[in-house]
Amino acid sequence: MLLHVQRIAVPFEYPVYFTEGVFSPSNDDLASAVASREPGRRHRVLPVIDGGVAAAWPSLPEDIARYVGAHAARLSLVADPIVVPGGEAAKNDGAATAALQARLDALGMDRQSFVMIVGGGAVLDMAGYAAATVHRGVRVVRIPTTVLAQADSGVGVKNGINAFGKKNLLGTFAPPFAVIIDARFLETLPLRDKVAGMAEAVKVALIRDPPLFSWLTSQAPALASGELAPLAELVRRSAEIHLQHIASAGDPFELGSARPLDFGHWAAHKLESLTSHRLRHGEAVAIGIAIDTLYAAFAGLCSEATAAAVLTTLEALGFLLWDEALALTHPGGGRLCVLDGLTDFREHLGGELTVTLLEGVGRSREVHEMDERHIVAAIERLRERAARRGARAAAGAAGGAAGGARS
Ligand SMILES: NC(=O)c1ccc[n+]([C@@H]2O[C@H](COP(=O)([O-])OP(=O)(O)OC[C@H]3O[C@@H](n4cnc5c(N)ncnc54)[C@H](O)[C@@H]3O)[C@@H](O)[C@H]2O)c1
Ligand SMILES: [Zn+2]
């Protein structure tokens, strides 16, 4: 007998600031974000900093202390910043998460205290997960410091860590209290990470925003060389599309199986595992986008011209669209290991396999099965393309060397 249907509606709201110099004492964004709900109170803030960021910005602990001092009516520092290892290592080591949870407890962090996470997507995911699980949720202010985290993960509602050999197996949906995107952090980001982060912008452009895709194509040389002004614009446009999608697509906590923002991700997640995270998330996503776009062309969903445009733009942005892990096969049968990514992806989504494929730039469709022969052909095409590019580069180098010898 059905007794009652319980209905709970909880609106979530979080501000996203775009700024420069978040810890400069005259910048009010952080203090006003933290104090937005209870302006009359002094709020406890605990900084957690990505080790890579701490190394690149050695004055950060002092800058934060000075900032909190300058805004002492609204902010107080719980302790010196906790520095955690940066990169995927943060998510692979469950002990690091447990250690952070223990610190949050030891420092008396309660549900109205703030963990202020400064870092790349991996540290935001790991520390966000720790904060979301202590007392079932301590407030989080995210200060993303990579292109990927500023353009995508840092403005979203997910966190998590890797476990049992699977990407993001443990995690929660937990909207942050506030997000502050400081363009200056990108000044110290290595070029490899600048490029990697652009994959998520290409992804949203392809499924949602044709003008952004044209812009990415036209700006590719400047972006590939890591120029900061176009990168800041890429971040802003990509973040806006992600925010709009989360707010308006009707499924912020991903209860259904459709997942357009995971375009290109079934192969990407598998490639990250197969390479033991030698490939960055963004690098794997670029390959995943290339596979699924070629697949769409082979399956007759989009034109060869669209596929060629996507691959050319990805390469112009600096991505390599081939990795030896694509050729790994299971012992015996010879089946490509990357194909297992489809099963993992279905499990991660729950329910039916749902893969987003392109019909054209800005137009996508969901499919519920994929023909492995087309996937294999797409991978083969990427291998041939990489071999041709390699041969051209070698010929160019030999030509250059010969030219040098003549002069
Ligand atoms: N939660 C989500 O919705 C979501 C979405 C997309 C990706 N992700 C996750 O994000 C992670 C990838 O994040 P990422 O691309 O930001 O890379 P990352 O966090 O692995 O960082 C890459 C490297 O850059 C360093 N670094 C960070 N900021 C720096 C700076 N300003 N200057 C110098 N070095 C800096 C880090 O220490 C690290 O060594 C993956 O684990 C991926 O699964 C999560
Ligand atoms: Zn991603």
For the stretch 39-55, pLDDT in tens is 999 999 999 999 999 99
**CATH 3.40.50.1970 placement within the chain:** 16-189
CATH 1.20.1090.10 in the chain: give the residue spans.
198-234+256-393
- What global pTM score does this model have? 0.94
Mean pLDDT of the chain: 95
Report the range of poorest mean pLDDT among 133-142, 248-257, 398-407.
Answer: 398-407
Residue type at position 88 = E
Residue 15 pLDDT > 60:
yes
The single residue listed with the structure tokens 């991996």 is 122
pLDDT grade, residue 240 (50/70/90)? very high
The arrangement of secondary structure in 16-189, i.e. its CATH architecture, is 3-Layer(aba) Sandwich (3.40)
Q: Which fold has domain 198-234+256-393?
A: Dehydroquinate synthase-like, alpha domain (1.20.1090)
Question: What local confidence, expressed as pLDDT, does residue 407 receive?
Answer: 38
Question: Which amino acid is it at 368?
Answer: H
Q: By percentage, how much of the chain surpasses pLDDT 90?
A: 88
357 pLDDT band, cuts 50/70/90, is very high
Residue type (1 letter), 335: R
The DSSP element (H or E) to which 225 belongs, if any, is none
Per-residue confidence band for 257, with pLDDT thresholds at 50, 70 and 90: confident
- Residue closest via CA to ligand 1's atom 30 equals 189
Asked if residues 341 and 270 have their Cβ atoms less than 8 Å apart, the reply is yes
Predicted local distance difference test score (pLDDT) of residue 259: 82
Q: How far is the CA of 154 from the centre of ligand 1 (A)?
A: 10
Residue 166: the pLDDT is 84
CA of 239 to the centre of ligand 1 (A): 15
Cα(first)–Cα(last) distance of the chain, in Å? Answer: 91
What residue's CA is closest to ligand 1, atom 27? 120
Find where tokens 């609204």 sit.
Answer: 74
State the closest ligand 1 atom to the C-alpha of 197, by its place in the atom list counted from 1.
15
Buried b or exposed e, range 145-171, using 16+ CB within 10 angstroms: bbbbbbbbbbbbbbbbbbeeeebbebb
pLDDT band at 404 (very low <50, low <70, confident <90, very high): very low
Best CA proximity match to 29, nearest among 184, 228, 232: 184
User: Which own/partner contact pairs does 371-375 have at CB distance under 8 Å and 24+ positions apart?
Assistant: 371/299, 372/339, 374/295, 374/298, 374/299, 375/291, 375/295, 375/336, 375/339
Cα–Cα distance for residue pair 158/168, rounded to 1 Å: 10
> Is the pLDDT reported for residue 92 higher than 80?
yes
User: Is residue 406 scored above 70 in pLDDT?
Assistant: no
How far is residue 218's CA from residue 208's CA, in Å, rounded to a whole number?
18
Alpha helices, DSSP H, located in 93-175: 94-106, 121-133, 147-151
Name the band, by pLDDT with cuts 50, 70 and 90, for residue 405.
Answer: very low
Query: Which structure tokens are listed for 366?
Result: 């969901």
Check whether 193 has a pLDDT greater than 80: yes
Give me the pLDDT at residue 401, please.
64
Residues having CB closer than 6 A to ligand 1 are 50-53, 56, 86-88, 91, 119-123, 125, 145-146, 148-149, 152-153, 156, 158-159, 185, 188-189, 193, 196-197, 280-282
Q: Which ligand sits closest to the CA of 284?
A: 2
Give mean pLDDT, residues 110-139.
Answer: 98
Q: pLDDT grade, residue 178 (50/70/90)?
A: very high
Check residue 254 and give its pLDDT.
Answer: 84
Is residue 150 scored above 90 in pLDDT?
yes
**Could you give the CA distance from residue 370 to residue 276 in angstroms, rounded to a whole number?**
25
Longest dimension (CA), the chain: 91
* Tens of pLDDT, residues 381-394: 999 999 999 899 88
- What's the full length of the chain, in residues? 407
